[in-house]
Structure 1
Amino acid sequence: MDARLDFFASPTAGKAFKHLMAAGRTLKDSTLPAAVQELVSLRVSQINGCGACLDMHTKEALAAGESPVRLGLVAGWREATVYTEAERAALALAEQGTRVADAGEGVSDEVWDRAAQHFDQEQLTALVLLVSFMNAATRMNIISKQPAGGYEVGAFH
């Protein structure tokens, strides 16, 4: 599969893409636990069907020491016993935040309150920004048909 666009070939697109990636790197430095960040990134990528993001975040999570079992069970997180309550709360928020059109009301108070029980305001802010960032990144990759499989760990750091 060939990509429709090379985001770095256009001065305008390249500049915007670099800023978007810088925002993503800033989130990596937040107090939101790294494991939560990778699980949420994977789940948003799965929901949106973005192979390029799945490739990247799977490889990054494995390189950071995440378990292949936990990564493999992200799509079935509700039935899996390998996630903490905080991780479950983050995954629920990520799902509703990604499927806002399907939910009718966006993120429910129940899902928000559960996340707020596990994360402080700084972490909640990072979580909301991460879900938003991942939805933007996955949509850019899907629209432009970015191929999956060739990501190298650390390429966007």
Structure 2
Amino acid sequence: MQPRLDPFSTLPSAFEPMMAMEKFLASSGLEHSLVELLKMRASQINGCAYCLHMHATDARANGETENRLYLLDAWRESPLYTDRERAALAWCEALTLLPDGHAPDAVYEQFQALFSPEEQVKVTLVITNINAWNRIAVGFRALHPTD
């Protein structure tokens, strides 16, 4: 695979708002492990190797277990995830695969039951931002480090 363009060096100022959102979300009070799981799950769905590499590395550095990373694609079948993580992962899938179901009420009700209104907005912004990053990285064929 060959990269198409480096959008970050081509127009760095365009990414300042997205980076500001990342900074806000990092200090938002959401559990770091939850944020990384959401970023990983959306990146799995979107096939973004660059983001998968980045967020797996970040998650491991912050204490995430290999088993939870390996089993994330099958989170529904694994007891390794909390009810709160499950609700957020279902919400992540619903928003990432929006055309498939338009964020079903049942998924939102489960999400709403375990997250405060402010947390719902923050989680939704995590999902929104990673989906944007995925589209940029996949579209321009960003290459992950091969260390």
Task: Tell me by how many angstroms 1:22 deviates.
Answer: 2.1
Task: Tell me by how many angstroms 1:34 deviates.
Answer: 1.2
Write out aligned runs for 1:73-152 (5 A): 73-103=71-101, 106-150=102-146
What do residues 107-132 of structure 1 show as CA deviations (whole Å, max 9, x unaligned)? 11111111111111111111111111
Count residues in correspondence: 147
State which of 39, 42, 45 in structure 1 corresponds to 2:43: 45
| Aligned 8 A contact 2:43 2:49 in 1 | yes
Task: Tell me by how many angstroms 1:36 deviates.
Answer: 1.0
**Runs of 5+ consecutive residues of structure 1 not aligned to the other structure:** 152-157
Write the distance in 2 (CA, Å) between the matches of 1:75 and 1:19: 30
Q: CA RMSD in A?
A: 1.3
Write the distance in 2 (CA, Å) between the matches of 1:99 and 1:120: 23
**Runs of 5+ consecutive residues of structure 2 not aligned to the other structure:** none
What do residues 17-47 of structure 1 show as CA deviations (whole Å, max 9, x unaligned)? 2321221121111122111111110000000
Is the helix fraction higher in 1 or 2?
Answer: 2
- State the AA in 1 paired with 2:57: K
Write the distance in 1 (CA, Å) between the matches of 2:105 and 2:99: 16
**TM-score when normalising by structure 1:** 0.89
